Amino acid sequence: MNFVVDVEADGPCPGLYSMVSIGVVELSTMKGFYNTLKPISDHYQEDALKACNFTRQETLKFDDSNIAMTRLNDWLNNFYGNKVFWSDNNGFDWQFVNYYFHLYDIKNPFGFSSRRIGDYYCGRVNDLSANRKWKKLRKTKHTHNALDDAMGNAEALKQIMKGNY
């Protein structure tokens, strides 16, 4: 099963900073999951919060992150088979998801690898400089809402897989 994941965070790396929201879309059904997460760190970057349209005060009222990650794991368990993690920026998104699963002693259902949509697109069009051109295939607007962004990326990935680019 293929899952497109997007994370919004209040800084560049897990542990020092916190994931504030996560959106996940299962590619074959286009079913989505969304949750906000209360910070796990006192550190945050105001510009990172501004980019995802949250204030620090709002994030402090979000769901405890262990509850949010348990909800995500439960939702993912509704889908059978190997779970493949896809993302626009998997180096960023996967590190937060992996860290949070391990922080709460939940086995990462995606394992230890992930796939980047831009790299896949470059291979399909045989152009290593085309790593951002796939974004034109999104239908859902990129808003920095984690579910909107995961949905738009999933829409684009489906088109790339069909050869519609």
Q: Known catalytic residue: 102?
A: no
Question: Residue 91: how many CB atoms within 10 A of its CB?
Answer: 9
Catalytic residue among 43, 102, 142, 144: 144
What type of residue sits at position 154? A
Residue matched to tokens 């999104």: 138
Helix 146-162 to helix 117-125 angle, to the nearest 10 degrees? 20
- Contacts by residues 123-130 (CB-CB < 8 Å, ≥ 24 positions apart): 124/160, 124/163, 124/165, 125/165
- CB 86: neighbour CB atoms within 10 A? 23
DSSP-derived letter for residue 63 is P
CA 75 vs CA 16, 25, 80, 161: distances in Å:
27, 11, 11, 25
Catalytic machinery residues? 144
